[in-house]
């Protein structure tokens, strides 16, 4: 945050301008796609998360929409945004609030047990799964179905979109998506994972998954548009009701 202004009718906050779009928007502009591209994004994301965790801050809403690039030309300068759910976490078992986004929320949050910053690492694992395969590890027709799948914590790396992904990348995803947070990799360990340091020529081309990513991103944009319309209609309804109450005195 660079500045803020408290005006009579509104409150303004001046933030960085992220013209590069979110992490999936960036991928959509590519003509080719490889594990190296996914690794570059994951390295930047894990660095941001590790920085937050080093200051005992749990973000609690990590998802592609909140992973932004400052420019169209820089692949490494990434900003983690939307700290509306963030909170200080003094240890790994001190938080109880159930919050987050359905596809990305950690199972311990849904189970209602005390949790800590490692809930963010689960969300990072979901983002990694999407970037590598173009699909979600946990899904369902309704939010309840999604939550049920997340609680079970079962996912597959056996479908055709994973055939061309390296064993090292699969290992990172597997260690981030551990249902038991005590066994889950933390952000610092993710940065030091072997996938982050193997030679770039050993990283596979996963251009076939770019088509799946495009489809996933289109559905994501549609969900966002529908949600925005619902919120707008509710706000309009509330505004009309409030004005009516004022008119009635």
Q: Is 74 a catalytic residue?
A: no
Asked if residues 131 and 42 have their Cβ atoms less than 8 Å apart, the reply is yes
Query: Whole-prediction pTM value?
Result: 0.84
Per-residue pLDDT band for 71 (boundaries 50, 70, 90) equals confident
Per-residue pLDDT band for 230 (boundaries 50, 70, 90) equals low
**Average pLDDT of the residues in 90-94:** 94
Question: For position 194, what pLDDT does the model report?
Answer: 96
pLDDT of residue 231 exceeding 80, the answer is no
User: What share of the chain in percent tops pLDDT 70?
Assistant: 84
Identify the active-site residue in 3, 61, 82, 141. 61
Tokens of 131: 């970037």
Per-domain residue ranges of the chain: 21-232
pLDDT tens-digit series, residues 19-50: 888 888 887 777 677 889 899 999 999 999 99
- Strands 78-80 and 67-69 turn out to be antiparallel
Dihedral sign for Cα atoms in the order 220, 138, 48, 82 = positive
Phi and psi of 22, rounded to 5°? Answer: -85, 175
Question: For position 188, what pLDDT does the model report?
Answer: 97
CATH class of residue range 21-232 = mainly alpha
pLDDT tens-digit series, residues 183-223: 999 999 999 999 999 888 878 777 666 777 777 767 666 56
Residue that has been written with the tokens 């960036």 in this structure = 26
In angstroms, the CA 176 to CA 199 distance is 22
pLDDT of residue 86 exceeding 90, the answer is yes
User: What share of the chain in percent tops pLDDT 90?
Assistant: 55
Of residues 227 and 124, more confidence is placed in 124
């Amino acid at each position: 945050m660079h500045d803020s202004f408290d005006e009579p009718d509104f409150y303004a906050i001046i933030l960085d301008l992220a013209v590069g779009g979110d992490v999936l928007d960036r991928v959509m502009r590519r003509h080719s796609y490889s594990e190296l591209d996914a690794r570059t994004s994951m390295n930047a994301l894990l660095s941001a998360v590790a920085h937050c965790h080093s200051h005992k801050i749990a973000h609690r809403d990590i998802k592609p929409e909140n992973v932004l690039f400052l420019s169209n030309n820089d692949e490494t300068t990434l900003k983690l945004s939307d700290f509306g759910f963030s909170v200080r976490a003094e240890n790994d078992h001190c938080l109880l609030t159930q919050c987050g986004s359905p596809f990305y929320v950690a199972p311990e949050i849904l189970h209602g047990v005390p949790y800590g910053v490692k809930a963010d690492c689960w969300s990072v694992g979901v983002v990694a799964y999407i970037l590598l395969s173009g699909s979600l590890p946990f899904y369902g027709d309704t939010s309840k179905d999604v939550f049920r799948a997340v609680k079970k914590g079962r996912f597959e790396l056996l479908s055709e979109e994973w055939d061309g992904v390296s064993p090292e990348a699969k290992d990172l995803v597997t260690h981030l998506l551990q249902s038991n947070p005590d066994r889950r990799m933390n952000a610092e360990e993710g940065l030091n994972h072997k996938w982050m340091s193997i030679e770039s020529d050993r990283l596979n081309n996963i251009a076939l998954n770019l088509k799946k990513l495009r489809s996933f991103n289109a559905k994501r944009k549609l969900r966002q548009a529908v949600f925005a319309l619902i919120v707008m209609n509710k706000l309009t309804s509330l505004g009309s009701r409030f004005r009516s109450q004022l008119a009635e005195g």
